[in-house]
């Protein structure tokens, strides 16, 4: 299945000069979603304790991946969105700065963690989540992305194995 036909380009979103890769057509197709999920799960190491989905588009596949792997799911959210005690990590992305948070008890020492997000761009978001996992004592086994924007060199920010279903 050619998953690229389910990705819509939106010019100048969220800011002028950005070409946004919209995955909502893929999410709207049960066949494309299932195919993509199989691609993500089939190339994942066997032993994963937790799957992290990064707000918000990382939640779409992150929860499904966790269910398929019989692993726990952890949402990582923007500052102030989680209800329990959190730790925070600041990061830079291609169009600004922000912070991400995780519950302080979400990852236990020794947990093997898979990080999932929709797009790998400059790598700042994923690197912040890797830092959060490591601060809590977990080990990042792999970082999965639906899309990788290779020209932004985000892969260089990450020391973990990376799986990207689509590359631009």
> pLDDT digit string (tens) for 38-69?
999 999 988 999 999 999 999 999 999 999 99
- State residue 88 phi and psi, 5-degree precision: -130, 150
Q: Across-strand partners of 140?
A: 113
Q: Across-strand partners of 52?
A: 74, 115
- In the predicted model, is pLDDT for residue 94 greater than 70? no
So which residues are the catalytic ones? 57, 94
* pLDDT tens readout for residues 106-128: 999 999 999 999 999 989 999 99
* pLDDT > 70 fraction of the chain, expressed in percent and rounded: 98
Q: How many helices (H) and strands (E) does the chain have?
A: 4, 9
Please tell me the number of Cα atoms within 13 Å of 36 on its side-chain side: 30
**Residue range 79-85: mean pLDDT, rounded:** 97
| DSSP state for residue 63 in the 8-state scheme | H
Integer-rounded Cα Rg, in Å, for the chain is 15
Question: d(Cα 120, Cα 167) in Å, to the nearest integer?
Answer: 9
- In the predicted model, is pLDDT for residue 135 greater than 90? yes
Which structural domains are found in the chain, ordered by start?
45-167 (3.40.50.2020)
pTM: 0.95
* Secondary structure of residue 139 in the 3-state scheme: strand
Pair 50, 106: CB distance under 8 Å = yes
**Cβ contacts of 17 within 8 Å, gap of 6 or more:** none
């Amino acid at each position: 299945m050619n998953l690229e036909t389910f990705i819509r380009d939106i010019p100048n979103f969220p800011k002028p000069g950005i070409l946004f890769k919209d995955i909502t057509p893929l999410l709207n197709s049960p066949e494309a979603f299932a195919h993509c999920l199989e691609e993500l799960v089939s190339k994942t190491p066997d032993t994963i304790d937790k799957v992290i989905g990064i707000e918000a588009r990382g939640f779409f596949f992150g929860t499904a991946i966790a269910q398929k792997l019989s692993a726990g799911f952890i949402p990582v959210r923007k500052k102030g969105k989680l209800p329990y005690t959190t730790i925070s990590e600041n990061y830079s992305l291609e169009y600004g700065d922000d912070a991400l948070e995780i519950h302080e008890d979400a990852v236990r020492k020794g947990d093997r963690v898979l990080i999932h997000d929709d797009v790998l761009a400059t790598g700042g978001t994923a690197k912040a989540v890797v830092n959060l996992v490591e601060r809590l004592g977990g080990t990042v086994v792999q970082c999965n992305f639906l899309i990788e924007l290779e020209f932004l060199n985000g892969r260089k920010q990450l020391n973990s194995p990376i799986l990207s279903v689509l590359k631009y």
